[in-house]
Amino acid sequence: MDDQAGMWGAIMESDVWLRVSIAGVIIGALLGAVMHRTNFCTMGALSDINAFGNWHRFRAWMLAIAIAIAGVQGMHYFQYLDINQSIYLGSSFNWLAFIIGGVMFGIGMVFASGCGARNLIRVGGGDLKALVVVLIVGFSAYMTLRGIIAPARVWLNGLASVDMGAFSLANTGLSGIVAKISGLSASASVVTASSIVVLAMLVFCFSDKGFRKSGTHLFAGIAIGVLIGAGWWATGVLGADEFEPVQLMSLTFIAPTGQTIQYLMTWTGSVINFGIATVFGMILGAFVSSLLVGEFRINSFVDKNDLVRHFMGAVLMGVGGVTALGCTVGQGMSGVSTLALGSVLALLSIIAGAFAGFKAMERGFLL
């Protein structure tokens, strides 16, 4: 016990950016390996529904969200971290930005053969096509975050923004809404809101006999949900520091991809953060996994149309992901785990965009 306490003390006495970044690499590598080995893919889950009526991968996605909600809300309830400090629970509800950004991202991930996370997995597996997608996503994301597209994003955020204070609410969190409607205390509303949502999602997931028998999908959902929670723990607990607190966040792969490119170009004057570390970790985990199972392959574009379609998809994902404050992982799991209304709206918009992308592809778009 003394050794463990001493080790934990040594970790907490190290530089906050170092301990959080090491955790980011580890969590990212585990996520990359799990996603690679289980073929977990959010775009693929929607494609299975559209093409075959198969909901197994979608249920794995929903199981991951349910596990993440339970873990994150539990840490919030027991005051290990305060999710109200995350970017997802803002005092304004920028509904139009969530819709437009989400739809753009959903279309883009179909054109680019997967979301940002999936393309990072493919990079680890040797796919040069995915490397081009990741680079374009990163450039587009950073231009939208801080570059030439940023003024348009800021304008869109202000165009249709609802101040939650007008409804006597501190933010867009579901638990706050439950507290206001029911009169429950803040802690009781956290338990009530999260329990209802998690129970409903678990019933949806396990109502399907085929899903219950699929060990791969069950493992993927549980493992990825736990890793989303681990991301919050890394920034909220390991990253707790009175003088240099890190940004409270979990796994997300659009803005961090842009930050990773900037970090690589300005390494001597930059400091790694959790998001950048998870990008490196994802690629590393997928690389090791692909080598172990003999699936590392160098792939490239089939033809000009394939290149153009993936380029367009990458731009849509980069711009749309930043506008919507996240991707299928960032908003679809990390954001939803906070029970933020904006995250739910962004997720639904991403799904709608994906199905619009499927229809475009079915009609021969750039094929």
> pLDDT (tens digit, 9 = 90+) per residue, 83-128?
999 999 999 999 999 999 999 999 999 999 999 999 999 999 999 9
The confidence score (pLDDT) of residue 329 equals 97
> Is 293 inside a domain boundary?
yes
For the record, the structure tokens of 271 come out as 């400091």
Domain count, the chain: 1
Distance from C-alpha of 267 to C-alpha of 345, rounded to nearest angstrom: 36
Indicate the helix (H) or strand (E) that contains 49: helix 42-52
Q: Which of 262, 316, 306, 253 is nearest to 283 (CA)?
A: 253
Q: Is the pTM of this model over 0.85?
A: yes
Query: In sequence order, which residues have a C-beta less than 8 Å from that of residue 63 and are 6 or more positions away?
Result: 201, 202, 205, 217, 218, 221, 222, 225
> Is 6 inside a domain boundary?
no
> Is 10 inside a domain boundary?
no
Distance of CA 269 to the CA centre of its chain: 27
> Is 92 inside a domain boundary?
yes
The confidence score (pLDDT) of residue 162 equals 93
- Please give the residue that has the higher pLDDT: either 245 or 196: 196
Q: Which of 302, 306, 301 is nearest to 367 (CA)?
A: 306
> Is 297 inside a domain boundary?
yes
Residue 4's CB is within 10 A of a number of other CB atoms, namely 8
> Is 367 inside a domain boundary?
no
For the record, the structure tokens of 304 come out as 């000009």
| pLDDT > 90: percent of the chain | 89
Domain ranges, residue 271 = 16-362
Q: How confident is the model at residue 212 (pLDDT cuts 50, 70, 90)?
A: very high
Residue 367, pLDDT > 90, answer no
Q: Are 116 and 321 in contact (CB under 8 A)?
A: yes
